[in-house]
Amino acid sequence: MATKLFVGSLSWNVTDDQLKDFFAAAGTVVSANVIKDRDSGRSKGFGFVEMSSDEEAKAAVDQLNGKELDGRAINVSEARPREERSSGGGGGYGGGGGRDRY
């Protein structure tokens, strides 16, 4: 198991420090980050926590998945590797639009 955990279903009010303190019950927290919207700065409702070892990460999943933080039951699971984003351009254009042009 990786030491980085995904934390979902977070309350909009949860801060990095609250997330770190909450996970400290399961072991040593290396980092805790609530993901925020780039434009508004508001929480997106999920974050990532990095524990100092695989054992502590597993303990955090076992102990904290489904527990309540700031009034919401959170989801804790192993973080998946970030997927590569294509740089092929296009920006969502194309696809035809449903009209035939002959």
Number of domains in the chain: 1
Q: Which residues pair with 43 in a beta bridge?
A: 36
53 neighbors 3 (Cβ within 8 angstroms): yes
In tens, the pLDDT along 13-70 reads 999 999 999 999 999 999 999 999 999 999 999 999 999 999 999 999 999 999 999 9
Q: CATH number, domain at 18? A: 3.30.70.330
Residue 51 carries which side chain, given as an amino acid letter?
Answer: M
Would you say residue 90 lies in a domain? no
Predicted local distance difference test score (pLDDT) of residue 87? 66
Would you say residue 89 lies in a domain? no
Would you say residue 44 lies in a domain? yes
Would you say residue 52 lies in a domain? yes
Cα torsion through 6, 2, 83, 33, rounded to 10: 40
Quick check: pTM over 0.85? no
